[in-house]
Amino acid sequence: MTVMSTPSSIAPRILISISDLRFSYGPAGAGVRPILEGFDLEVRESELLSIVGPSGCGKSTLLSIIAGLLRVDAGTVLVDGAERTEPGPDRAMIFQEDAVFPWRTVRANVEYGLQMQGKSRAERHRIADEYLRLVGLVDVWDLFPRQLSGGMRKRVDVARAMAVQPQILLLDEPFAALDVMTKEQLQLDFLGVWAKTQLTAIFVTHDLEEALFLSDRVVVMSRDPARVIRDVAVPFSRPRDRTLRTSQEFQELRGELAEQLRFETGDLEAIEAT
């Protein structure tokens, strides 16, 4: 396993710039303690960034804010220099819950975003087939989601989000509900798909190993208030395969981060399976 110094020598452009974010559930100023306060984060173009942290630390909330699904009390989210407050296909999101539309066939699901963009039927077919091939579902295009396994439905979800050719891909613990085998396979396949598109992606997870295995950079968050307690460039070269997980460097880095997370949060149960 080769260990590189820093990921890239070219100065990467900042695509997402989050500054001084404040967010609380419930009416503003109602004395509710905010989930996020004075939160800053920058994401570079074509970077696969993972955010890890204990449950309830606000990482999923942060993702929903970037997606435009939640309104902030204060602060800005700049994407490509412009403020985004409404949801849009430039920031496609993949959720932990099963979000595949059960009333649409696999292909119709993947075509959904394209249909919303008003693309022609032929165009939709072409793009959908391309992404179905990419996630390995080209043979089941005419099935309904209820006929697929959980892992396959997740693939549909990934294909659907990528088919709209977003600028940013937001992933909210997408594989958390899957069994370990399926999860590991999907992680590998996701890396394959991601490598082809080089999309800027933010991957929220509570699984440190998943975060290290997938990303270029890992941000560790703590809660109350949400803040970044560690920002690590992941030094492993790509393409990555299963053997990376068992390598000594990988395990050392994981152990170090887990230790720090336990220390910072004072919560031994915070990080599962580490």
Partner 1 sequence: MSTLRIAAHSALRPAIFIRHRNVLRRLVVPLVILGVWELVCELGLVRPLILPPPHAVWDAFTGMKGQLPGAILTTLSITLTGFLIGTAIGLAMGLVMAYSVIARDFFGTIFDFLRPVPIFALIPLFLLWFGIGKPPEVALVSMGCAVILGVSTSEAIRNIPSIYIRAGLTLGARRSGIYRTVIIPYIFPHLVGAIRLAAASAWGLDVAAEFMGSQQGLGYLIIEQQIYLRTAGIFVLVFVYCILAIVFDVLIARIERHVTRWTERRSAKGIVASIVGSQ
Q: Compute how many other C-beta atoms are within 10 angstroms of the C-beta atom of residue 163.
A: 25
The CB-of-97 to partner 1 minimum distance in angstroms stands at: 5
The CB-of-87 to partner 1 minimum distance in angstroms stands at: 4
Q: 14 vs 148, which CB is nearer to partner 1?
A: 148
The CB-of-103 to partner 1 minimum distance in angstroms stands at: 4
The CB-of-86 to partner 1 minimum distance in angstroms stands at: 8
The CB-of-142 to partner 1 minimum distance in angstroms stands at: 12
Rg (CA), the chain: 19
| Vertex 216 angle, CA 247 and 231, to 5° | 95
The CB-of-59 to partner 1 minimum distance in angstroms stands at: 16
The CB-of-88 to partner 1 minimum distance in angstroms stands at: 6
Q: 131 vs 213, which CB is nearer to partner 1?
A: 131
Q: What is the 3-state secondary structure (H, E, C) of 125-136?
A: HHHHHHHHHHCC
Amino acid identity at 121: R
Q: 92 vs 212, which CB is nearer to partner 1?
A: 92
List 82's β-bridge partners, or say none. Answer: 79
Q: 58 vs 113, which CB is nearer to partner 1?
A: 113
Q: 194 vs 250, which CB is nearer to partner 1?
A: 194
The CB-of-263 to partner 1 minimum distance in angstroms stands at: 35
**What are phi and psi for residue 202, nearest 5 degrees?**
-115, 120
Q: 7 vs 88, which CB is nearer to partner 1?
A: 88
Q: Which residues bind partner 1 (CB under 8 A)?
A: 67-69, 87-89, 91-93, 95, 97-99, 101-104, 112-113, 115-117, 144-146, 160-161, 164, 170
Q: 114 vs 219, which CB is nearer to partner 1?
A: 114
Q: 89 vs 151, which CB is nearer to partner 1?
A: 89
